[in-house]
Structure 1
Amino acid sequence: MKEIEMKMLDMSTVLRPSNSFALVLEEVGDEKRKLALIIGAAEAQSIKMGELNYNPPRPFTHDLMLNVIKAGGIQCMKGIIYEVRNGIYYSYLYIRRADGEVEVVDARTSDVIALSLRAGFPLYVYEDILEREQLRNISTDGSTYTLTVNSVDMDTLKKAMEEAVAAEDYERASQLRDEIRKREDEGKDNR
């Protein structure tokens, strides 16, 4: 699969009423497709610290992890977002061990981004995921856009369905209801 390099573009203010942030990644190159990830406050703080190149007086978790990696003779090579399912992005961290062997480690996407900002290794997404999940209907000033249903969690879907019913947008409400049922059925199958 073709890998598309991404960079951090922006992070929103808190989305109400939850304690979440929208992290926007942008394609490196001419197309500039964008991808939004919904992350928690702790993850947002760590990513922001990496973006600002902030050196805390004592190592935070990602700083500690990079110190251990370096001490072990390991090198972070790249991160790849390889899947999106039910609003959760899945990533691999590629590392080179001291003996030269390459290992692929499953990791939270927010951790891969936080490490990438600190260590300077590239972040990629498979092109089919970027094409399917990219932001759409972006306003000219970039302040509003449409997220794909797959990129949001169940609580957000349920809230959006309630809002659609209240606005009497029954077509949208039924689409959201179907997505909620599909995820609930998948959850039952995984038990």
Structure 2
Amino acid sequence: MIEMKVTGIVLNAASRSPMILLKDSSERRALPIFIGQAQAEAIIEALEGHRPSRPLTHDLFANILNDCNVKLDKVIIHSLTDDIFYAVLCIEFNGIKKEIDCRPSDAVAIALRTNSPIWVLEEVIADASIPVDTDADDAERQAFRKFISSLSPDQLIKKGGYEEKH
């Protein structure tokens, strides 16, 4: 799993639909997830630190977790099927851990309100992320190729720990 941060809400250029944009810590991969307008507004409110005069649904849920001493350990976006992302809230109460199915947009909105980490499975990132820093990716590939091309077969065997013992 890879921890990701919400970098904002963006609009898809073609459909004008809002998307959550998550980025990994190196900021080299981004994961866009389509969401509804109401969820986009709830996430923007949390990102900007706005507190409504009366709690909205995500605020209410965060308040219930807090007031009932339920800890939101993390949110996990765990799969992507037919262009639909799936997530769970990983909670703990009195030593009992549970995973609760939810939409990624709700999971993110609640995670932002509870300062909980957002994790994404590598398979989801591999399937749906977009490169952000292609120059760094290319530089890393070139450095690896240069390193490999400079090694002899004997050096590869030694570096791999496969030296013959006499």
Give runs of aligned pairs for residues 9-20 of structure 1, distance below 5 A.
9-13=7-11, 20=17
Contact 1:15-1:22 within 8 A present in 2 as well: no
Q: 2:129 matched to which residue of 1?
A: 134
Count of residue pairs brought into register by the alignment: 135
- TM-score, normalised relative to structure 1: 0.65
Aligned to 2:74, what secondary structure does the other structure show?
strand
Bigger proportion of residues as strand: 2
1:26 matched to 2:17: no
Q: Distance in 1 between matches of 2:92 and 2:62?
A: 13
Contact 2:74-2:119 within 8 A present in 1 as well: yes
Aligned to 1:82, what secondary structure does the other structure show?
strand
1:104 matched to 2:99: yes
Q: 1:114 aligns with which of 109, 116, 122?
A: 109
Q: 1:70 matched to which residue of 2?
A: 66
Rg bigger for which structure?
Answer: 2
Give runs of aligned pairs for residues 167-178 of structure 1, distance below 5 A.
none
Give runs of aligned pairs for residues 51-70 of structure 1, distance below 5 A.
51-70=47-66
Contact 2:29-2:133 within 8 A present in 1 as well: no
Kindly tell me: are residues 46 and 132 of structure 1, through their superposed partners in 2, closer, same or farther at Cα, counting changes over 3 Å? same
Kindly tell me: are residues 134 and 14 of structure 1, through their superposed partners in 2, closer, same or farther at Cα, counting changes over 3 Å? closer
Tell me which stretches of 4 or more aligned residues in structure 1 moved more than 2 Å.
Answer: 13-18, 136-140
- TM-score, normalised relative to structure 2: 0.74
List alignment gaps of at least 5 residues for structure 1.
Answer: 141-191
RMSD between superposed Cα atoms in Å: 2.0
1:50 matched to 2:41: no
